[in-house]
Structure formats: structure tokens, C-alpha cells
Structure 1
Amino acid sequence: MASVVEKTIRRAVTPAVQAVASINRARLPGPGENPFLRGIHTPMADELTLANPTVTGAIPTELDGRYVRIGPNPFGKAGKGHHWFLGDGMVHGVRLKDGKAEWYRNRFIRSAELEGKGGPAAVGGPRRGFGDTVNTNVLDIGGKIMALVEANSFPVELDGNLDSVAYSDFGGGLTGSFTAHPHQCPDTGEYHAICYEGPSQDTIRHVAMDRYGKVLRETEIAVKHGPSIHDCALTENFVVILDLPVTFSMQALMSGHKFPYRWNRGHKARVGLLPRGATRDEVVWHEVDPCYVFHVGNSFEDETGRVIIDVCPYETIFDGEMPGPYGKPLGLERWTVDGQGGKVVRDTLDTAGLEFPRPDERYFTKAHRYLWAIGMPADGDLEFVAPMPLYRHDLATGERVQRDFGEGRIPGEFVFVPRTPEAAEGDGWMMGYVIDRNRQTSALEILDAMTLGVVGTVEIPHLIPPGFHGNWIAAS
């Protein structure tokens, strides 16, 4: 943990750093040259409410809730140094009930930063960090719809109509930043999160919460260089920490770039196992060959006690001055961690470039058979011109089922929704947004999770820009 003296120095240096960064930012390319501000990435200016949108096919009557996805959507004119990850948050949601689509809505997250640009008034609640933009994930936490971001702001609670209610530190339980990817144990209901922030380059935190969203404990863990840890994993006994070589870069910050994380060849890649109930730093670290992982599909302990992790790694990422996540995806891998400090064993399950791996989350922390993931285009294809299929992987047989969306149709993350709480693994639907570059429209597609055939589609008569994470939030 940083000493009082170190924290004082950081506070004193920050204004000088910001001044230098501002001068250098003026030398960067303007927003007109930023690929994440044009084409399919053009931000939406308006908040819309569409009642009874058109449905083709059939909406399963078992579905009662909201599909909600969040992403960056800069309000007004973005400045120089803009990075895709930093745009103002906007949620897009569809309400499904009784076999019908009741509405589509999109809403800005009501931040002070948004209000400062001339946007809608900010909501109240506690603030922290260097800004209050929230744009990365949206989840049900303790029965509340929460919009999330990592490394900076507290989360924002949303109401059933997707309007911002207030910023939240979970009743005063959070002492620092949260994460975009807390994971819930299906057996205990506990949430576990690994949280980081740039100014704390020597410390990350494990946050454990009960099923109601009350913080039970925070545990500080020693690290170096300020690693960016977007996701973590969970098993029956451990929280899995991915300490990989993307770290805070003072050089990038001083150069005017607003996203100050870069590939760091001097940072040792490692995977840590922390006992779930730990109250101090008890991590057992394991070396892994350098790579970066945004997202974990699932993890569990096998019959010998080894930890198995299914991930979609990149060879490198953020290795340069680009305004988005440029990198080479390596496919789907299964990592084996012995728990004794040995080197992580990496086995390739699929060489196709993949992202957004999702399991049947009732099997989170357990041995699983199925994973779904989106095919990724080649590095630099920021308009997503190349096909981006949805895949279902059968990890028991090696079978891979593929869903192609058609020319000019671009999917985002798809999430699994079980048919009933008691249904077999994989018995249910996959749902997510698909945008149509040619028609400039979008759709919420509901697919059979096993065959990937279309069950029902909710038509949305405008283009929803590509975003980050979406989830099904049941009405109950």
C-alpha cells in the first residue's frame, strides 16, 4: 500500500502532469481522423423511446425482463486524444414480456462529465477518481441494475426504464474503484471482483460482496507497474487474478493520450490464486507466457485440484499509440494452473480469433461443456467488414457450431439465458444486438443456444453503435 508521503507526492505532481499532457494533446490527430468516431461508430445524439417495436419470429414467453447493453457514446464533439474506451456511457435496452417486445430505450449515464459538456443534468451519489464516466458493463447486483466501469468511478444504479438513479459505493463499502467484471458464485450468491486504478501502481484490491451487494471485505494485493486487469475468474475455492503485461504508462499520459495503458515488455506475466475467504495477501503466483486476456469464459477446479481457465488471449495489445484495442487474437485457450507456483500450461482449443466468451453462468465455478464466443476480424478492421460469426463450442466433443449473420451485419456480445432455472446446460437462448451497416438499422436477435437458429428478432430502426457488454436482467 502506498505510504502517506507517496500519496502526497502524487497529489502534488498531478496538476503538473495534467498541464504537460494538455500541451502535448494539442499535437495529436483531431477527432475527424479517429476511426472510433465515424462510420458504424458514429455516436447517437438522441435518447429514444420506441413502444412496441416490430417483432419477427417469436419471442419466447419464458422471457420476462430486459436485455441491456452499455458502451461508449461521446456526447458532442470529442477532443484530441480520444480513446474508444473513454466515451460517455450509453445504455440500450429492450423490455420483453408475455411473448412481446414492450419497448426499446437508449439513455446516457447521467455523469457530471456529461453535464459539463452541455448534456443532461447529473444524478447524485458519491464520486471518486478523475472523472465519473461509466460505460463498460451493466449487471444485476443484489437486485439492482448497476452500470459499471473499472479503474475509476463508482457504479451507477439504473431504474427499470434505464434512467440513472444515483452513483453508488454500495452503502459506503467501497474504498476505491470497482470493476467492470464482478463474478457471482451460483452456490453462495457472493460476488467477487478484482479492482485496480492507475495512481495505485503497487496495489490492487479483491472485493467480496454478499448476494445483496453488501461489501464483506476488501483485501489489498501487491503488484508492480499498475497492471490493467479487466476480468478475473472464480472457482469453488479461489479468485483467479490475471496480472498480464498491459500496465499504466506515464509516458502515454504525458504524451496527451487519455487512455494511459500500454503493452509493457518489462512486466512479468503471471496468474494468481487467492483463497476466496482471504483477509490478507495470500496469492500464489504462477508464471505464464506473455499475452493479454480481456475476458474469461469460465474456470473451475478439476478432480486433482488444478485450476482450469478458458480464455480468449491476445498475443499483444495496446502496443502503440492507437485509439482502440489493436491486437492479434489467438483464439480459445484452456489454461491449467497447478496451484503450487508452477508455470501455467496453455492449450489451444480453437485457433479462430475470438472474443466475448460466455458460458451458461449457472455453471460458473464448475466444470462446463459449452462456451459461446464471437469471431473477431483481423487487426485494424475497425469497421468490422470481415464476417464475425457466433460460435458454440462443445468442449466435450470438440464440435463447433457456427452462426453467420450475413454480409454487412455485425454482432456484439451474445449472452446465454436458460429456458428455466432447472434446464440442462445449454438449454435456452443466446441474445444480443446485431447492427446492419447497409440498412443502417439494428436488431435484438434471440437464437436457440444449441443450434444457433433464429427464434425471434426485435427490429430497431436505427444503428446502435458497437459497444461493450450486455446482459439479460430478469424481472424477478
Structure 2
Amino acid sequence: MTASKAEPAGLSAVPPVTREAVVSRPPVLGALPPELDGTFLTIGPNPLRRPSGEHLFAGDGMVHGVRLRAGRAEWYRNRWLRTDRVARILGELPAPGPRHGPNDNANANIVRHAGRTLALGDCGPRPLQIDSALDTVARVDFDGTLRGGFSAHPQHDPVTGELHAITMSLEPPYATYVVVDVHGRVRRSVPVPLKRPVMTHAFSLTERHALVYDLPVVFSPAAAAAGSRVPFAWNDGHGARLGVLPRDGGSDDILWIELPPCFVFHPVNAFGAGRHIVVDVIRHPRVFDRDPHRPGETPPALVRWTVDAAAGTVVEEPLSDLVQESPVIDDRVRGTRHRIAFATALAPCDGELLGGPALLRHDIAAGRTDTHVLPPGRATGEAVFVPREPRAPEGDGWLLSMVTDARTGCGELMVLDTADFAGPPVAAVPLPVRVPHGFHAAWVDGG
């Protein structure tokens, strides 16, 4: 499948999956590591009756999953999330539970917390809980403790097990720092006053601070009036800044530090280093500017920001000259100094932000990048990292990602052993159906 000159490749050029499917016992090529006992999940927009001119990020959420156990692939499934819109079109009851904000389209990410698997979205919807068969269970307000909406990209503290997030809202103060305890209840909520509503897809967490990205993709009243489900656009007048909030502090303790105009969908990691805070991010010079419906107008790069909070300065250092997105680390080191970062290499000419022709492994301490290149005509989406065992060294384990084949249009779950990163996959699970590159992928242990 090729894109026309007027339509760059990417989500907008890929037709949506038109039906829900179940594939029992898909074949396995190679040998699946028996230690991989869990479900690989990916989520993204898959429009059901796509409205004309819809924002690239607004498609109805669909979850895809492959269950692995004892060296076998037990099943593949895909399911639309039962939002109000999807349920209405399908003639079903929508997900129960209180909703929040202008839409409930949780199409962006998946996390597992306090015994629940949660689908998450941008623009402040509440999480949607899904079960082990990927069916929608209910909207979640964390047992009545979540006052507003939630975040598309929260982060777990690997020490405490708590879930941290910067949530956004179209109402003042426009953002909130939220901590969900290990029992699945909000135990801390700190207002983060902003000048106006901004798109806050993610944030960074260190051992001592939550870092807020206040960047110039802001709420557009004109887009909202036109009915956009993602009413945000680039605004040169907003500026860019990084908020440094002590994890035990309040609104008055936030230190704001100016940044050059840019946008960050995905931070890699952040950690304290003496008097500095080190922040690795995938930085986009501009997004949603020339085309407010698609973000891929400038090439994203891996950079390091060294923040001097006392001086109020940020020094930027490039870490790679490759165009890339969808960074992944070993979550056991999140919030502390990391050495290894994985990412998806992009082909700058095709406009695709969710998939590319190779996976990258950056050894940041050594200044070296290894590449796993896919055969021609194949592209991989975001990967997930699974440690070989609980005490394995950082980055030692398996990398799983969903690959698409342009010739067949079908998906294939690929499993790499990081001990031979550039070598052939140790296993693959070919599927007889198409699995579009989603926004994010996740690994859920066990059932």
C-alpha cells in the first residue's frame, strides 16, 4: 500500500480495521521464550464510521492483544472500546460509570494498576477498564477519588508501586498532579495552574520531582466549535516551559523554567544528578501547525536537557541524529539514572509517526546505538520491554513489537532477544489480520 502525494503515509493513509476478530492458536515461528507469560497489547485510533476531516488522533479506540503462555500463542483478539459513540453505532449499551469532559475516547495508552487494566486517552477522559478478553468493563474514577479526568501517559514509581500523572482539563487550573496509591485510590491531588489548556500527553517523574510540560499546542476554540474531538493547535504566542514540582510540594512550589518552542509527546526518562535534573526526551520542533490534524511536520530527535533549577536554565545536548519516536526504557530504573533506551526509527519521507523500518537501542553511557533493521516492506510500531528475570541487568530481556507487512497487510508479533539485538527475532507470531500501528503498546503479566 502506498500513499498518494497529497496524503503522507501514516494513520491517515491506512484504512481502519472494519471488524472485531478472534484468532485461536495462531502459529509461532521460531521459539517463544517460555518465560513470556502474559498478553501483548496495543491501542490506537480505529475510526468506526470515520467523520469527514477528522483529527488524526480522534479515531475510536481499538485494543489488539496476543496472549502468550508456555511457549505458545493462545489467541489474538481485537475490540473497540465501548465509548458512548461506539456503543451508539453498534447498538449496544455504553460502558457504565461516570464520564468526564467533552468525550470518553480512551484510545491512547494502556496501563495495569491495582488489579485493573486501563485504557487511557488524551484531553482528560476517565480510564476505561478492560478485562482479560479485551472487552470494556466500566469507566473508572478510582473508587470515587478521581475528581476530574485522567492522563494518557501516567508513570509508575518502581519503588512504591504508585501511579503518578499530570492530568489535563479545559477548566482552570487546567492541569493537576495526581498520585494513585497501590490500592487504586487517589491519595494526592495538586493543582497545576496554567495560562490556558494545553495538550499534555505525558510528563516526567524523578525520585523527587514531577516535571510538567507546558508547551505551545493549546486549546483551539475554533476547532472545538467545529466539532473536533481533539481541539488543539500550535500557538506561537504561548511559549514553552518546564515546571519542576516537588513530589511532596504544592502549587506554590512549582518552579517554571523557559524552553525554546518545541513539543514533547514522549519523554524517555528523567533523574536527579546532584544540583541538576537530567531529562531525556523526543523533541519535535513543531507539531499541529501547518496541518492541525497531523503532527508529523518536523523530524523528532532524541535530546538531553540538563536542568539547573537554581539558575533557571536548561542546556540541550543531542543524543542521536536519527529520526525516531516511541521511546521505551526498562521500567525498573524509571525516575533514576538509566543507561539503555529503545526507540522506533522513522522514515522521514513518509510522515509516519507510529511505525518505522527499524528498532533502536541506545547505550547512552557508551554513546552507541544498535539497530535492528526489518526486511523491506515491513514496519514496526512501539515496542515493549520485558526483563529476562526480576534481577536481570538493565535492558536484558525481550523486546516485543507488532510488525506490519505492506505486501500482505497483515500483522506479526515480533520477539527480539536483547542479547542479540541486531540479529534475527527469536520468535514471531504471524496473524491473518491487519493490526495497525497504535499509539502505545503494553505487556500485562499473567492472565
Partner of 2:3: none
Tell me, what secondary structure is at the counterpart of 1:412?
strand
Shift of 1:279: 4.0
Q: 1:369 aligns with which of 331, 339, 347?
A: 339
* Farther-moved stretch of structure 1 (447-456 vs 269-278): 447-456
Q: Does 1:53 align with 2:23?
A: no
When normalised by structure 2's length, the TM-score is 0.94
Query: Per-residue CA shift, 1:358-388, capped at 9, x if unaligned?
Result: 1111000111110000112226634989x53
Partner of 2:136: 164
Q: Does 1:109 align with 2:81?
A: yes
What does 1:176-191 correspond to in 2, within 5 Å?
176-191=148-163
What does 1:412-427 correspond to in 2, within 5 Å?
412-427=381-396
Partner of 2:234: 263
How many angstroms apart in 1 are the aligned matches of 2:304 and 2:91?
Answer: 45
How many angstroms apart in 2 are the aligned matches of 1:397 and 1:378?
Answer: 26
Q: 1:383 to 1:260 in 2, by over 3 A?
A: closer
Shift of 1:393: 0.4
How many angstroms apart in 1 are the aligned matches of 2:319 and 2:336?
Answer: 18
Query: Per-residue CA shift, 1:183-209, capped at 9, x if unaligned?
Result: 011111121100112x22642100011
Partner of 2:297: 327
Partner of 1:14: none
Q: Does 1:284 align with 2:284?
A: no
Matched residue type, 2:121: V
Partner of 2:55: 83
Shift of 1:255: 4.8
Shift of 1:329: 2.4
Q: 2:186 aligns with which of 215, 219, 222?
A: 215
Q: 1:38 to 1:348 in 2, by over 3 A?
A: closer
Partner of 1:44: 17
Matched residue type, 1:464: V
Q: 1:85 to 1:36 in 2, by over 3 A?
A: same
How many angstroms apart in 1 are the aligned matches of 2:92 and 2:7?
Answer: 27
Partner of 2:177: 206
Q: 1:280 to 1:315 in 2, by over 3 A?
A: closer
Partner of 1:337: 307
Q: 1:275 to 1:475 in 2, by over 3 A?
A: same
Tell me, what secondary structure is at the counterpart of 1:117?
helix
Shift of 1:221: 1.1
When normalised by structure 1's length, the TM-score is 0.88
Query: Per-residue CA shift, 1:45-97, capped at 9, x if unaligned?
Result: 2111111101001111111111111111111x212231121111110001111
Matched residue type, 1:435: T
What does 1:374-393 correspond to in 2, within 5 Å?
374-378=344-348, 381-382=351-352, 388-393=357-362
Q: Does 1:397 align with 2:336?
A: no
How many angstroms apart in 2 are the aligned matches of 1:383 and 1:337?
Answer: 28
Shift of 1:37: 7.0
Matched residue type, 2:371: Q
Matched residue type, 1:269: A
Query: What is the number of equivalent residue pairs in this alignment?
Result: 440
Matched residue type, 1:118: L
Query: Per-residue CA shift, 1:13-33, capped at 9, x if unaligned?
Result: xxxxxxxxxxxxxxxxxxx98
**Which residues of structure 1 form unaligned runs of 5+?**
1-31
* Farther-moved stretch of structure 1 (256-265 vs 184-193): 256-265
Tell me, what secondary structure is at the counterpart of 2:426?
strand
Query: Per-residue CA shift, 1:339-375, capped at 9, x if unaligned?
Result: 2251211100101111011111100011111000011
What does 1:230-269 correspond to in 2, within 5 Å?
230-255=201-226, 257-269=228-240
* Farther-moved stretch of structure 1 (253-262 vs 435-444): 253-262
Q: 1:35 to 1:394 in 2, by over 3 A?
A: closer
Tell me, what secondary structure is at the counterpart of 1:219?
strand
Do 1:81 and 1:256's aligned partners in 2 also have CA atoms closer than 8 Å?
no
Do 1:235 and 1:299's aligned partners in 2 also have CA atoms closer than 8 Å?
yes
Tell me, what secondary structure is at the counterpart of 2:87?
helix
Query: Per-residue CA shift, 1:319-338, capped at 9, x if unaligned?
Result: 03343222312411011111
Q: 1:139 aligns with which of 111, 117, 122?
A: 111
Partner of 1:66: 39
Do 1:409 and 1:434's aligned partners in 2 also have CA atoms closer than 8 Å?
yes
How many angstroms apart in 2 are the aligned matches of 1:239 and 1:171?
Answer: 24
Partner of 1:196: 168
How many angstroms apart in 2 are the aligned matches of 1:346 and 1:174?
Answer: 36
**Which residues of structure 2 form unaligned runs of 5+?**
1-5
How many angstroms apart in 1 are the aligned matches of 2:277 and 2:306?
Answer: 6
Q: Does 1:455 align with 2:416?
A: no
Tell me, what secondary structure is at the counterpart of 1:74?
coil
Partner of 1:407: 376
CA RMSD in angstroms comes to 2.0
Matched residue type, 1:448: D
Shift of 1:418: 0.2
Q: 1:119 to 1:327 in 2, by over 3 A?
A: farther
* Farther-moved stretch of structure 1 (56-65 vs 280-289): 280-289
How many angstroms apart in 2 are the aligned matches of 1:57 and 1:119?
Answer: 42
Q: 1:370 to 1:384 in 2, by over 3 A?
A: closer
Partner of 1:352: 322
How many angstroms apart in 2 are the aligned matches of 1:284 and 1:298?
Answer: 19
Shift of 1:142: 1.2
Tell me, what secondary structure is at the counterpart of 1:413?
strand
Matched residue type, 1:192: H
